């Protein structure tokens, strides 16, 4: 019996190890709340994946918010207030995100949080922030349910949390926007749809599929992949034999890159199309040379092309951050700046001081925030969604993402 | 198009990789009854060893036909060094301790190795691209075989043949068999069991290193976490084949690889199963298979019922 019980213990330990790696959290910048020069310090929290597969995007978010805070301090945007950024790592895990939310709520100096990157992580954080009336502005969450409730698709829109805002547009328009481009502009009529079953990926794939069918396109196959594996050969073989002329993938670049590569290796020379989750330089690295021609939609117009963004790009470079600002840099800067604007309003309304119920006041002020940001006009509608609904299609050409078409989706 | 032959090849390739790693689990277990949970990380360090040779030892632009054998040497060198070091410093001091102690050490070591690569290998915080063998894919009928997979197709059977020769024909190999049967009596017969155990760790690591190189060539990228899931799969393959049996490890790997691939490709087509198919369910079906085998053949596919020693 000894041997078999050993295997049982081992199996239990293996399960334990799985959970352990899932909830370990590594914090960078413990960060306290020291005041300097008699100023009041306001902390802007950041929650994003700073390590792991999605860290490229996460670090871009952190740096961009940091830049917003530094700019506000330098320009003395809010008299008497010094902004400080405290960034926590959620490793793209909802459980870590919730822990971080609790931590940020406990720090009384935190008056607003930028993040997270993943819609699934946002789901676990919303209530924690809302209970504390702490405002959260996400630069990247695109799942419609976060602002419009789970029944958003049935026409019953209801905002679940008053403290949640986002500067990114939603998949309710990103998926259909991609479908219109693929069907009308790229002239692809049969699609193979793959997703990773996560909140973001599955939602995006669903809105894409619906619009693609409505336009008259054919869905010749669907698959759900396990984001923990790298072997997609069985799926790639199915894509090839389905005869599809395009693949739509709802998910993120760590899987999308290898998936694109393996589909092409299987002999299906068709483009892979995805959402903002694959719009990263790392996708191109992972997809390799065969990824040329793959497409991604992303929120907003290309940051480099907007006149309002020139200054952001140059000051980001001047600040000397090690990592690129990536897909959400502009949105993160605007999210951070929205918090700064809200704090400014609250302080001005209270004779230059922070009121006692600063958090609730900042959340209230956020609803009315309106300014010209990096990504265009920043303001929020009655659900907390960005009023700016611009999207862009990018294509992999010569090893980088090249904007192909910008537009506003109209249902 | 009939995709069955292609799917069989896909499964065979995936399974061969599981098998190469499973050999290490099974050999160490056969001799010291320890499930070396750090073995998946030894596979990972092997892959990084091969990458290191390519990036930092060889001159830029070395053709893969010259680089490949040297990368293999680098992979084996790194993996064997890590495994022998682990045996010497993490497991040997605990050899007389209760069995749970080295098992927990193994899990600790697994995390430590992952974090070490994460922290100290240049740019290893996300995936690193791995050099590829040039040349297009080969078409055999309706089956496409990638250049990178050719290595795995050749390396897996050769590895098995070398292993079989070593265990059956050499003195050290026979010593391993004797130690596996009864370490105390083997010692009395003049076998240096400490040395045999080191050899078992080293051999297992060498095959894991071959697997690590094959992984890099197949997927074009490696990362610090690649050994974790693959290690669990290889352990499953070892149990499936009959832990302690080296042929069982290879067969268990192939069966597991085929099961996953078939589940991905065909379960959704079975009437009433459309919700339970697809690649996201492949692991579930692999473990259902494992449970079934363990229920009806607890010793695994090729395992023998042995009298309990303790």
Domains and CATH numbers, chain B: 4-125+139-296 (1.10.3470)
Contacts of A237 in chain B (CB under 8 A): 3, 6-7, 10, 265
pLDDT score at A35: 39
Whether B177 and chain A come into contact, CB under 8 Å, resolves to: no
CB contact (8 A) between residue A235 and residue B279: yes
pLDDT score at B129: 86
CB interface of A with B, residues 26-55, below 8 Å: 51-53, 55
What is the average pLDDT across B208-229?
93
CB contact (8 A) between residue A6 and residue B146: no
At residue A28 the predicted structure's pLDDT band, cuts being 50, 70 and 90, is very low
Q: What residue in B sits closest to A242 (Cα-Cα)?
A: B1
CB interface of B with A, residues 2-31, below 8 Å: 2-3, 6-7, 10-11, 13-14
What is the average pLDDT across A228-239?
92
- Tell me the percentage of chain A whose pLDDT exceeds 90: 68
Whether B77 and chain A come into contact, CB under 8 Å, resolves to: no
3-state helix, strand, coil split of chain A in percent (to 5) is: 45, 20, 35
pLDDT score at A36: 44
CB pairs under 8 A between A and B: 129
pLDDT score at A16: 53
At residue A7 the predicted structure's pLDDT band, cuts being 50, 70 and 90, is low
pLDDT in tens, B63-112: 888 999 999 999 999 999 999 999 999 999 998 899 899 999 999 999 99
A265-269, B191-195, B275-279: least confidently modelled range: B275-279
Q: Is the pLDDT of residue A29 over 50?
A: no
pLDDT score at B217: 93
pLDDT score at A332: 95
Whether A25 and chain B come into contact, CB under 8 Å, resolves to: no
Q: What is the dihedral of CA B182, B186, B187, B192, to 10 degrees?
A: -110
Contacts of A230 in chain B (CB under 8 A): 219, 221, 226
Residue with tokens 């597991």: B256
pLDDT score at A22: 44
Q: What residue in B sits closest to A230 (Cα-Cα)?
A: B219
- Tell me the percentage of chain B whose pLDDT exceeds 90: 67
Q: How many residues in total does chain A contain?
A: 411
Residue B201 and residue B109: Cα distance in Å, rounded? 15
Q: What residue in B sits closest to A259 (Cα-Cα)?
A: B219
First to last CA, chain B: 56
Whether B125 and chain A come into contact, CB under 8 Å, resolves to: yes
- Which string of DSSP letters, residue by residue, matches B6-18? HHHHHHHHHHHHH
Among partner residues A226, A232, A233, which is closest to B283 by beta-carbon distance? A226
CB contact (8 A) between residue B219 and residue A230: yes
Contacts of B126 in chain A (CB under 8 A): 52-53, 55-56, 254, 282
Q: Is the pLDDT of residue A307 over 90?
A: no
pLDDT in tens, A95-151: 999 999 999 999 999 999 999 999 999 999 999 999 999 999 999 998 999 999 988
What is the ipTM score, two decimals? 0.85
Phi and psi torsions of A164, nearest 5°: -105, 125
Mean pLDDT rounded to a whole number for chain A: 88
Residue B43 and residue B234: Cα distance in Å, rounded? 11
At residue B234 the predicted structure's pLDDT band, cuts being 50, 70 and 90, is very high
């Amino acid at each position: 019996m000894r041997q078999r019980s050993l295997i049982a213990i081992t199996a239990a330990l293996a399960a334990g190890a799985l959970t352990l790696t899932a909830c370990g959290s590594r914090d960078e910048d413990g960060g306290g709340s020291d005041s300097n020069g008699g100023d009041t310090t306001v902390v802007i929290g950041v929650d994003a994946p700073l390590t792991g597969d999605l860290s490229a995007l996460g670090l871009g978010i952190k740096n961009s918010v940091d830049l917003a805070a530094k700019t506000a301090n330098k320009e003395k945007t809010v008299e008497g207030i010094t902004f400080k950024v405290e960034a926590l790592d959620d490793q793209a895990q909802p459980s870590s995100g919730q822990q971080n939310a609790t931590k940020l709520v406990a720090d009384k100096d935190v008056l607003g949080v930028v993040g997270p990157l993943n819609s699934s992580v946002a789901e676990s954080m919303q209530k924690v922030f809302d209970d504390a009336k702490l405002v959260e502005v996400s630069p990247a969450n695109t799942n419609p349910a976060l602002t419009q409730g789970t029944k958003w698709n049935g026409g019953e829109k209801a905002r679940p949390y008053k403290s949640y805002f986002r500067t990114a547009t939603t998949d309710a328009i990103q998926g259909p926007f991609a479908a219109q481009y693929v069907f009308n502009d790229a002239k692809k009529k049969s699609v193979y749809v793959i997703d990773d079953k996560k909140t973001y990926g599955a939602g995006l794939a669903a809105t894409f599929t619906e619009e693609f069918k409505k336009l008259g396109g054919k869905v010749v196959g669907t698959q759900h992949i396990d984001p923990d594996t790298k072997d997609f050969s069985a799926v790639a073989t199915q894509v090839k034999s389905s005869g599809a002329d395009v693949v739509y993938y709802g998910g993120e670049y760590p899987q999308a890159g290898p998936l694109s590569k393996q589909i092409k290796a299987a002999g299906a020379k068709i483009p892979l199309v995805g959402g903002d989750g694959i719009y990263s330089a790392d996708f191109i690295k992972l997809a390799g040379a065969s990824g040329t021609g793959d497409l991604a939609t992303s929120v907003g117009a290309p940051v480099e092309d907007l006149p309002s963004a020139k200054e952001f790009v140059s000051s980001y470079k001047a600040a000397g951050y090690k990592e690129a600002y990536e897909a959400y840099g502009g949105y993160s800067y605007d999210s951070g700046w929205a918090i700064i604007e809200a704090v400014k309003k609250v302080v001005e309304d209270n004779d230059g001081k922070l009121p006692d119920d600063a958090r609730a006041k900042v959340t209230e002020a956020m609803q009315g925030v309106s300014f010209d940001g990096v990504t265009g006009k920043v303001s929020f509608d009655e659900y907390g969604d960005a009023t700016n609904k611009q999207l862009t299609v990018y294509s992999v050409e010569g090893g980088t993402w090249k904007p192909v078409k910008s537009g506003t989706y109209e249902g | 198009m009939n995709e069955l032959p292609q799917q069989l090849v896909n499964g065979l390739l995936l399974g061969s990789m599981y098998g190469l790693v499973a050999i290490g689990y099974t050999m160490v277990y056969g001799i010291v009854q320890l499930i070396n949970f750090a073995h998946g990380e030894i596979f990972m360090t092997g892959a990084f060893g091969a990458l290191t040779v390519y990036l930092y030892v060889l001159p830029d632009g070395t053709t893969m036909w010259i680089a490949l054998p040297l990368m293999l040497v680098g992979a084996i060198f790194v993996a064997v060094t890590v495994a022998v070091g682990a045996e010497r410093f993490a497991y040997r001091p605990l050899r007389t301790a209760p069995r749970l102690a080295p098992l927990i050490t193994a899990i600790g070591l697994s995390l430590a190795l992952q974090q070490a690569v994460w922290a100290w290998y240049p740019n290893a915080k996300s995936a690193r691209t791995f050099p590829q063998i040039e040349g297009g894919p080969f078409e055999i009928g309706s089956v496409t075989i990638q250049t990178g997979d050719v290595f795995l197709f050749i390396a897996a059977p050769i590895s098995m043949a070398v292993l079989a020769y070593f265990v059956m024909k050499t003195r050290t190999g026979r010593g391993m068999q004797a130690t596996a049967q009864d370490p105390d009596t083997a010692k009395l017969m003049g076998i240096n069991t400490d040395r045999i155990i080191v050899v078992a760790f080293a051999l297992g690591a060498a095959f894991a290193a071959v697997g690590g190189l094959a992984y890099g060539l197949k997927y074009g990228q490696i990362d610090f976490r690649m050994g974790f899931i693959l290690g669990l799969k290889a352990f499953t393959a070892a149990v499936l084949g009959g832990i302690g049996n080296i042929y069982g490890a290879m067969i268990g790997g192939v069966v597991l690889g085929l099961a996953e691939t078939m589940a991905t490709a065909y379960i959704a087509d079975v009437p009433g199963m459309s919700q339970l198919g697809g690649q996201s369910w492949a692991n579930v079906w692999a473990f259902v298979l494992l449970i079934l085998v363990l229920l009806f053949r607890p010793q695994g596919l090729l395992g023998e019922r042995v009298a309990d020693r303790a």
